[in-house]
Structures are given as C-alpha cells and as structure tokens.
A = this chain, B = another copy of it.
Amino acid sequence: MTTILQDSKILVIGAGLIGTSIALGLKTHGVAVFLDDHDLDALETACTKSGAEKLIGNMKVDLVIVATPPSAVASVIRQVAKSYPDAVITDVASVKGSIFADLADEPVDVLRRIVGGHPMAGREVSGSAGAKANLFVDRPWVVIRNSVTDESAFELVNELALTLGAMPIQRSSDEHDKAVALISHTPQVVASVLASQLIGAPDSHVEMAGQGIRDTIRIAASDSRLWSEILASNSVEVVTRVNAVADALHDIAQALSLGETDKVASILAQGNLGQRRLPGKHGVGTQADATVLVRLADKPGELARLFAVAAKAEVNLEDVRIDHSLGRMTGLVELTVTKASATALESALQAEGFSVIA
C-alpha cells in the first residue's frame, strides 16, 4: 500500500503510550522500527510489547519520531538532528509553537528536515502497557510545516499518519495551538477543576451522581504530570481561554444571585449553540428509531447471547449502549432499532428468557 515508508528504517524515541503504539502499529504494517528510551526498563517492556528492536549503536535511519514528554521534545530534536544528519524528524507533542520557537535558531539544513506532528489520540492510561497498534485509527493526526520544511519530509510524515490509520490534517503551528487550547487543553483544565470539587463532599452526595457529571469529568482521570507539561507549553492560549471560562462562570453566578433568570437562560442557550458545533452525531436518534431496554443477568455470556437472539430474529441493531454507571460489566443494555422491528425484538428476547424492561 505505502511505498516510501515501507522501505524506511524508523526510530521512535520515547517508550510511553504514544511511542509504543506507533512502534506496534508500524510493526503490524511490516515497517522496520527501532525504539529508544533513557529508561532502560521502560525500553525493554516497550520492545517486548511492540516487537520493535532496541536501538543499538549508530545505525542509519530515515525517520525519527520523537515521542518523549513535551518538555524534552525540542532538545531531543536538536540531538537527533546531529546524530542522524539525513533523517526526517517529527514529534508527537500536543503543542507546537513553543517547540518551533525553541528550534528557530537551528540551521536551515536541519529545519528543512523537521515536520511537526500531533496524533490526536490517547487514553486515560499512560505507559507502554496500554499501547495499541490501532490507537490512531480514524483519529486526526495534525501535520505541521515550518517555513522551510522540505516537501518530501512533509509527505513522509503524512504517509506515517495514513499508515497508522489516522487522518492527516494540515495546519499551521499557530492555528494548531489555538485549536487545541480550545478543544482539548481548556476542557482538560475545566474537567479537572470541576472534578476536584468532589474531594471533600460527603458520600451521600457523591452517591447521587449520574451519567451527566460522569461524562463531564471523565477526562479528569488523565495523567496530571504529562498534562501540566502540555498546558505549560501552550500557556498563553490556555490562560486566555481558561480565564474567559472563569469570567463567564462568575457572570452566570452573578446573574443567578441577582435573580436574572433570562440572562441565565441566554447563557445556557449559547451553550446549546456551541455544543451543536461539534461534528458528529447529535441527540438521541431519530423519531423513526425505538429503544429496547434489557437487564442482563450477572453471569458470563449474556451479552453474546443477547446479540445472538437479535441476529436470529433478523433485527437490525442501529446502536447499542451499555450502562456502566452502576459499576458492573453487565447490567442494562439499550438497543436502538427501527420502530417497526422493536416489538419483534422484544418478543424474541422474552422468548429466550431475557428481562425486557417495558
């Protein structure tokens, strides 16, 4: 499928979640990958996990992917540029402007080989243990030129993203940093600060939590050390946005204490508009859909048996949601089907002993 990358030797520096996932993904596609990390234990684990080889000595490589914590990226790129004078160099850091600024005094010869990269994928786990070859599938991978980046280097990094199943999108460094401040960094800060409000609350309050707050603070589980670095390297944009959110919160609090219900409603209505700007599925399905709610018995195999019954009844499932809010794997399953087939599905499930909740 790919050609240039297939014949390349690739070095990944940094044996964390992203670096190991890249190595694993590339190995899966038959690309020659080497891994390096100053933490030799982490390196060993990541090599075992990914099947990549440990970097030994001074071999020639065509592409170096710097997947270290963001604060180390610029200095690692400087070293790499010297050690591998012909290699294209990219990184995976969530922020670009500060790295580009840091490298601005590098000779043009080096800058031509540098391509910024940001695969927008992650999990609320860190380290190579959570690595997955398919971590990047269908995710945006932002690819960023500096003012002198070679076209061939730029193409190679786009090909890297495509090989791993991601969608390469091209942005300027400034555009990228502004966008992630808005759609990633500020939500992280807001979710973390909101979640921290739960620390001192009595159990009897926290027990009442439902899916709303659960979704709102899900990303507050992210790695706090890594995120403090990410935020620090995009601080100008993030500070502006976070202060804007804080000011808007003070405004709505004031409107509430003054009893200005119309003003409160108008702020909430703006939230409606903002939420609708997100790409993708909205709302709860169309009017042509119906949902069937089933309670699974707490024993193995029930989920598979449920789907087998649906398949046998020749009912086309539009969607499946499993309710995890009660902390068990099994529990409530909501199946979305066409209105026309809901009754048939319910009958089929009941005939097989499932507890359909009308």
- Asked if B246 contacts A250 (CB within 8 A), the reply is yes
Q: Which 3 A-B pairs have the closest CB atoms?
A: A307-B307, A192-B271, A308-B311
- Copy tally for this chain in the complex stands at 2
Query: Is A205 within 8 A of B193, CB to CB?
Result: no
Closest residue of B by beta carbon distance from A285: B329
Residues of B within 8 A of A139 (CB): 210
Query: A320 CA to B302 CA in the complex, in Å?
Result: 13
When C-beta atoms are compared, the residue in chain B nearest to A179 turns out to be: B205
Chain A: interface residue total (CB-CB under 8 A): 141
Q: Mark A344-358, 1 if CB is under 8 A from B, else 0.
A: 000000000000011
In the complex with contacts A194-B186, A221-B282, A256-B239, A316-B301 CB distance below 8 A:
yes
| Residue contact A278 to B243, C-beta cutoff 8 Å | no
The answer to whether B198 touches A137 (Cβ under 8 A) is no
Contacts of A175 in B (CB 8 A): 204-205
A binding-site residues for B, Cβ under 8 Å: 28, 120-121, 123-125, 129-130, 132-134, 137-140, 142, 165, 169, 171, 175, 178-180, 182-184, 186-199, 201, 204-210, 212-222, 224-225, 227-229, 231-232, 235, 238-239, 241-250, 252-253, 256-257, 259, 261-262, 264-284, 287, 291, 293, 295, 300-301, 303-308, 310-312, 314-320, 322-329, 331-332, 357-358
Known: A192-B271, A291-B132. A138 touches B246 (CB 8 A): no
Contact (Cβ within 8 A) B317 A319: no
Which residues in B have their C-beta under 8 angstroms from that of A282?
221
Given contacts A220-B272, A304-B314, 10 further A-B contacts (CB under 8 A): A28-B358, A191-B216, A194-B271, A199-B274, A218-B275, A228-B268, A246-B249, A305-B311, A307-B308, A319-B322
